[in-house]
C-alpha cells in the first residue's frame, strides 16, 4: 500500500511482521545479549511479540491508538526484561498520540516515534551513546524527519537504515545502562542487542508500509 498514511491493517501487519522477524532472529539477539548481558533478550522479545501477535489476531483495526496500546500492555507483561517496560512505554506513548485515529499520517508517525523515544529515555534514563536502543531509535527518527520529498515507505526505509547504522555504531561503545553496564569496559566490542531489536522493529515497519 503506497500512500502517505498508515491504517490499522498496516499497523497490525507491521507488528505481525516484527513478530516473525524477531522470531527468526531470536538466536542472534540472544547471542548478542550473551556477550554483554543475561542472554535473554532474544527469548524475551520473541515471547513478547508472539503474545502480541496472539492478542492482535482478533483485534479491531479501526483505532490505531487502541492497537498500539494493546501492543504496549502486552509487551509490559510478557517480555520480562528491561525491554518490556521500554518497548511497552514506546508503544503506550505512541498510543496516546494516536488514540482514536483510524489512520495516521507522516506527521503523526513522527510525533508518535518521538513521544516513544521520550518515554523510553524518561523510563530508562538513557542518553545517546549509552549503548541502548536509544542509539537506534534516535538516528531513525532524525532520518525519518529529514527524509523530505520521498514516499512514506521510503522515509521509513531510510529510518530503518539509520537504525541499523545506529545499532552497528554501538559496537565500540561502553554500556552505561542496564545489565551490560556491570561489564564496564568489557561491554565494548559487541553490538547492543536492544538497539538491534529496535532496528528489526523499524525495518518491519518499513516493509509493512511498502507492501
Partner 1 sequence: MSQTTVGLVLVSHSRALAEATRALATQMTGDRVVIECAAGVGEAGEALGTDATAILAALERAAGEKGALVLMDLGSALLSAETALDLVDASIAAKTRLSAGPFVEGAVAAAVRAAGGGTLDEVAAEARRGLLAKEEQLGEAPPAPAPASVDESTENVFLEDAVIGDEHGLHARPAARLVSCASQFDAKVAIENRTNGKGPRAADSVVLLAGLQARRGDVLRIAGSGRQAEAAVRAIAALVRTFGTTPDAPPPPAPDKTTNDRGIPIAPGVAVGPCVRLERAEIRFSHPFTKNPPAELDRLTAALDEVEAEIRGAYGRDDMATLHATLLRDPVILQTARERITKQHQNAASAFHEGIERAAMALASADDPYMRARIADLRDVELAVLRALGAAPAAVLPEGPPALLLADELLPSEAARLDPARVLGVVDLRGGPTSHAAILLRGAGIPAVFGAASLLKDLPASPARLGLDGSTGEVWIDPGPERTADLERRRAEERAARLSAAAFHGKITLPSGPTVELWANAASALEARAAKEAGAFGIGLLRTEMFFLDRDDAPGEDEQADLYAEVLAAFPGAPVVIRTLDAGGDKRLPWLHVPPEENPYLGLRGIRLSLDRPDLLETQLRAILRAGRGRDVRIMIPMVSTVTEIEATKAALARAARTLDATGKPYLWPVPLGIMVEVPAAALLADQLAPHVDFFSIGTNDLTQYTLAAERGHPKLAALADAGHPAVLDLVNRVSQAGRAAGRAVSVCGEAAADPKLAATFVGLGITRLSMGPAALARVAAALVAGAEIG
Rounded to whole angstroms, the Cα distance separating 95 from 196 reads 23
Q: Which residues of 31-54 are buried (b: 16+ CB within 10 A; e: fewer)?
A: ebbebbbebbbbbbbbbbbbbbbe
Contact between 178 and partner 1 by CB under 8 A: the answer reads yes
Kindly tell me the number of DSSP H helices and DSSP E strands found in the chain.
9, 2
Rounded to whole angstroms, the Cα distance separating 52 from 156 reads 22
Contact between 194 and partner 1 by CB under 8 A: the answer reads no
Contact region with partner 1 (CB under 8 A), list: 39-47, 60-68, 131-139, 150-158: 39-47
Contact between 80 and partner 1 by CB under 8 A: the answer reads yes
Nearer Cβ to partner 1 (115/208): 115
Q: Which of 83, 132, 197, 203 binds partner 1 (CB under 8 A)?
A: 83
Rounded to whole angstroms, the Cα distance separating 52 from 46 reads 10
Contact between 196 and partner 1 by CB under 8 A: the answer reads no
Nearer Cβ to partner 1 (81/138): 81
Radius of gyration for the alpha carbons in the chain, expressed in angstroms and rounded: 16
Q: How far is the CB of 99 from partner 1 (least distance, A)?
A: 15
Q: Which of 19, 64, 68, 86 binds partner 1 (CB under 8 A)?
A: 86
List of residues contacting partner 1 (CB under 8 A): 38, 40, 43-44, 47, 73, 76-86, 88-89, 123-124, 178-179
Amino acid at each position: 500500500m503506497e500512500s502517505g498514511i498508515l491504517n490499522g491493517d498496516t499497523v497490525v501487519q507491521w507488528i505481525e511482521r516484527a513478530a516473525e522477524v524477531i522470531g527468526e532472529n531470536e538466536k542472534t539477539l540472544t547471542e548478542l545479549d550473551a556477550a554483554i548481558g543475561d542472554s535473554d533478550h532474544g527469548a524475551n522479545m520473541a515471547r513478547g511479540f508472539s503474545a502480541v501477535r496472539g492478542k492482535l489476531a482478533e483485534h479491531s483495526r479501526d483505532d490505531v491508538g487502541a492497537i498500539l496500546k494493546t501492543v504496549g500492555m502486552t509487551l509490559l507483561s510478557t517480555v520480562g526484561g528491561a525491554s518490556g517496560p521500554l518497548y511497552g512505554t514506546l508503544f503506550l506513548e505512541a498510543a496516546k498520540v494516536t488514540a482514536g485515529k483510524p489512520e495516521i499520517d507522516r506527521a503523526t508517525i513522527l510525533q508518535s516515534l518521538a513521544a516513544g523515544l521520550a518515554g523510553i529515555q524518561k523510563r530508562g534514563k538513557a542518553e545517546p551513546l549509552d549503548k541502548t536502543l536509544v542509539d537506534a531509535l534516535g538516528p531513525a527518527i532524525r532520518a525519518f524527519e529529514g527524509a523530505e520529498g520521498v514516499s512514506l515507505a521510503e522515509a521509513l526505509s531510510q529510518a530503518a537504515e539509520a537504525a541499523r547504522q545506529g545499532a552497528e555504531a554501538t559496537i565500540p561503545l561502553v554500556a552505561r545502562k542496564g545489565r551490560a553496564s556491570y561489564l564496564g569496559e568489557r561491554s565494548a566490542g559487541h553490538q547492543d542487542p536492544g538497539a538491534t531489536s529496535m532496528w528489526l522493529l523499524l525495518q518491519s515497519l518499513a516493509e509493512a508500509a511498502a507492501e
